[in-house]
A and B are shown apart, each in its own frame.
Chain A
Amino acid sequence: MATRMNKTDVVIVGFGWAGAIMAKELTEAGLRVVALERGPARDTQPDGAYPKVLDELTYNIRKKLFQDLSRETVTIRHGLGDTALPYRQLGAFLPGDGVGGAGLHWSGVHFRVDPVELRLRSHYEERYGKGFLPEGMTIQDFGVSYEELEPHFDFAEKVFGTSGTAWSVKGKVVGADKGGNPFAPDRSNDFPLPAQMRPVSAQRFGKAAAELGYHPYDLPSANASGPYSNPYGCQMGPCNFCGYCSGYVCYNYSKASPNVNVLPALRQSPLFELRTQAHVLQVDLSADRRTATGVAYVDAQGREVEQPADIVILSAFQFHNVRLMLLSGIGEPYDPASGQGTVGRNFAYQNMATIKAFFSGEMHANPFIGAGGNGIAIDDFNADNFDHGPAGFVGGSPMWVNQAGVKPISGIALPEGVPGWGSAWKQAVAEYYTHTVSMDAHGAHMSYRDNYLSLDPTYRDAHGRPLLRMTLDWKDNDIRMTRFMAEKMRAVAQAMGPKALRVYVKNFGDRFDTTSYQTTHLNGGAIMGTDRTTSAINRYLQSWDVHNVFVPGASAFPQGLGYNPTGLVAALTYWSAKAIRERYLAKPGPLA
């Protein structure tokens, strides 16, 4: 017999960036908000306390902050005819767990979006013709424009305390020769903080890129370059490049997180309650299935609890949002055979190539010096900043040196041919570790008819419910794109003057490798759009089918981006919250 809680105005499922932003916006609107987080309470103290957090084995290697797969994971298969098997160990991607979610363990690269990527299908059809997209590619437009989102990008940067160099503000170029990105869209305001310092390896990359005629710029970083107080009154300290960023809780209050940048303000509100170790099983629907009545969850003791609410926000990690919709019967599950249904459609990832450049002893990369969001990048091959016609593929890629702090268990790359152990290995790690520069081509990943999410027929979670099943593999378009990008990046790397290079790039025929970390930038499955037959949620992130359910997160992206997703997740969440505050509360019902 489930325990029934008092009804609340809003219940939020998952307390990462999207959940925290929604909670702040909706308590400001006077609504009572209950946030349910399935993981433990986490905060700078005690989880990021110095010096205990500076422990690579516990954090990066045993992966303390990430999802507990023993209770729930996903299954993965490459193709429709395959049997999916469980993702038993964390490898290719690292979903978060606990208060702050992935926003606690992320690096802090804080981009906006290239406007072209918000209307990717329309743009390609206009510039290259309808026949240019390969068979089976299902990219589409987000249904919201950069101009509509700009105020929300601006505000999110102020909340995150983002450091960067603007190219243009209100149409006026301010960042030429200063580290601004000439391909970046116009802004209503400068970054709240100037760009972070440039590590030696990033300086080298920028110099080489400029020599080749490219346009290096400072990566926008949600690691504070100076002392900062955000609009919520939350304070950040200057990042000291400690190198313990991605995979760690920042000990220094320098990396933006829901915990540092939003939660201290939310705690002041009597309208807000956060319950941890509350694992939501499903959204409960009314008899006509047109509205949600609340959610059912299991608490820390294992009791089933009902939490009635007028509005349900699904703001768990990308694939958990999709799974909760499938388990709850919100929307029609996608069927790749017929193309019918929307929930699970357009699952996409990231398409990375990496180069390690090994230098002689005179060049000191000192890779232990790092900040997760800092670096120097070029956008000359991102989005549609170059002619894709002769290149013959869809998608773009920024390239960068993003020195986030390379540590010795996980991070020592060596030139090809060096043995993995023995004295020769020892000699090589001693010779190369402090003289190695790592760079990435962080390619966008497109969506395809048969890359999708569904419920697994065999494997179950600790509560006996079906795991989510990923069907995902690389297509020729993806391989062509990443190989093109790797060659462009190789030229930059060569211009840096290394002794040797090692290029990590996919080959034609390579399958999706679940064991090798790429990024945690998973997209789609509950995508936004303007046509209810091809999207699960409308342009306000509202379920087409159950109007009091909103689903913010990268699950809303119809395809992957060249940029890191968090900035767009935050802006879309503010955009959705504005629609709830200004329109939905006055007249609950479909907003589109």
Chain B
Amino acid sequence: MPDDPSFTSRRRFLQWSAVAVPALAAAGAPASGQAPPADYRPAFFSASEWAFLRAAAARLIPADALGPGALEAGVPEFIDRQMATPWAEGRLWYMQGPFVPDAPPTLGWQMRLTPRDVYRLGIAAADGWTQDRHGRVFAELDAAAQDGVLQAFESGKARFEQVPAAIFFAMLLGNVREGFFSDPVHGGNRGLAGWKLIGFPGARADFMDWVERDVAYPLPPVSLSGQRG
């Protein structure tokens, strides 16, 4: 049924894939960030956490008619690798007490929790909340039900015990976008999928001839390692 949007989406996605795969192969596929998503073994996330992360990433930036989504772009790998950085341990933040977590939001982060804590506690709470309401963990729900659950987290309608659901969601969404749009050297944006979607040229970094011209920039993106999109 050619008019079925999902059919069209899938067909376009396959067309995209057919173009992208040879380009990846031609780039010489450096070890960092270029392994196929399924081969990556998470260092921080447990198997159940990893299932949640992959499923949530696939809904936050889905694969559709416009091209690959967060899962195909390696975003879960990006987040897992971020968990090994000083940022994830809260070492870029002032983390001396006393902590006043109920302070007004305009005063910013006032919890003791680090990003690693937020993921560890947040995913457990998210799966627990989903299990209570749907009888299954997040990764086992269909896409529509997953979207509904994510909306409950985003709005804070879901109440978690140890970390506010909205804070967990905001960190997750922020990291998913980072993984989709950052240079592939960090493990995400595989095939420069995020940059191709929006027309960002990545590390080209010389636009002398284009500054004053009201035209679409014609060159494809390039990454730090020289990979072209």
Contact = CB atoms under 8 A, between A and B. Distances in A.
B212 A409 contact: no
B94 A69 contact: yes
A139 to B, nearest CB: 25
B199 A514 contact: no
A91 B108 contact: yes
Contact of A434 (B94, B154, B185, B199): B199
B28 interface: no
A430 interface: yes
Given A51-B224, A70-B93, A422-B62, A513 B206 contact: no
A57 B106 contact: no
A240 interface: yes
A90 to B, nearest CB: 8
B64 interface: yes
Interface stretch (B30-38, B125-133, B173-181): B173-181
A17 interface: no
A421 B205 contact: no
B183 A408 contact: no
Contacts of A423: 62, 64, 66
A515 B105 contact: yes
Contact of B93 (A57, A88, A427, A434): A88
Interface of A: 50-52, 54-57, 61-63, 68-70, 72-73, 76, 78, 83, 85-89, 91, 197-200, 203, 238, 240-244, 251, 363-364, 366, 368-369, 407-409, 412, 420-423, 425-427, 429-430, 433-434, 458-460, 511-515
B26 interface: no
Contact of A426 (B197, B200, B206, B208): B197
Interface residues on B, range: 35 or more
Given A61-B178, A364-B217, A421-B150, A69 B93 contact: yes
Contacts of A364: 213-217
B98 interface: yes
27 contacts: A54-B224, A57-B183, A69-B92, A85-B103, A86-B96, A88-B108, A241-B206, A241-B210, A242-B206, A243-B207, A366-B207, A366-B216, A369-B210, A408-B181, A408-B195, A420-B173, A421-B59, A421-B61, A421-B173, A426-B62, A426-B64, A429-B197, A430-B197, A430-B198, A434-B198, A512-B106, A515-B108
Given A240-B206, A368-B200, A422-B62, 9 more contacts: A57-B183, A69-B93, A69-B94, A200-B211, A203-B212, A369-B211, A408-B194, A460-B96, A514-B106
B84 interface: no
Nearest to A407: B200
A200 B59 contact: no
Given A69-B92, A89-B108, A408-B198, A50 B217 contact: no
A208 B107 CA distance: 38
B87 interface: yes
Contacts of B214: 200, 363-364
B210 A366 contact: yes
B164 interface: no
A471 to B, nearest CB: 13
Contacts of A87: 94, 108
Contacts of A514: 106-108
Interface string B189-229: 00000110111111101111011111111000000100000
Given A68-B92, A73-B94, A203-B212, A242 B207 contact: yes
Contacts, number: 171
A197 B178 contact: no
A198 B200 CA distance: 20
Contacts of A422: 59-62, 147
Interface string B51-78: 0000000011110101001000000000
B30 to A, nearest CB: 14
Contacts of A420: 154, 173
A283 B154 CA distance: 49
A511 B198 CA distance: 34
Given A243-B205, A515-B108, A56 B182 contact: yes
B211 A197 contact: yes
Contact of A70 (B85, B91, B110, B210): B91
B182 A57 contact: yes
Given A54-B224, A57-B186, A426-B66, A88 B109 contact: yes
A52 B225 CA distance: 9
A240 B208 CA distance: 5
B2 interface: no
B207 A240 contact: yes
B22 interface: no
Interface string B131-142: 000000000000
Contacts of A244: 205
Contacts of A242: 205-207
B25 interface: no
A50 B60 contact: no
B94, B200, B203, B206: residue with the most chain A Cβ atoms closer than 10 Å: B94
A420 B150 CA distance: 11
Interface string B95-135: 11010100111111110000000000000000000000000
A451 to B, nearest CB: 15
Nearest to A56: B182
**CB-CB nearest 5 A-B residue pairs:** A242-B205, A57-B182, A408-B181, A433-B198, A54-B203
Contact of B207 (A83, A241, A363): A241
B128 to A, nearest CB: 22
Given A55-B224, A73-B94, A242-B207, A366 B197 contact: no
Given A199-B211, A426-B62, A430-B66, A88 B224 contact: no
A515 B185 CA distance: 28
Contacts of B85: 62
B67 to A, nearest CB: 9
Given A85-B100, A423-B62, A433-B198, A241 B211 contact: yes
Nearest to B226: A51
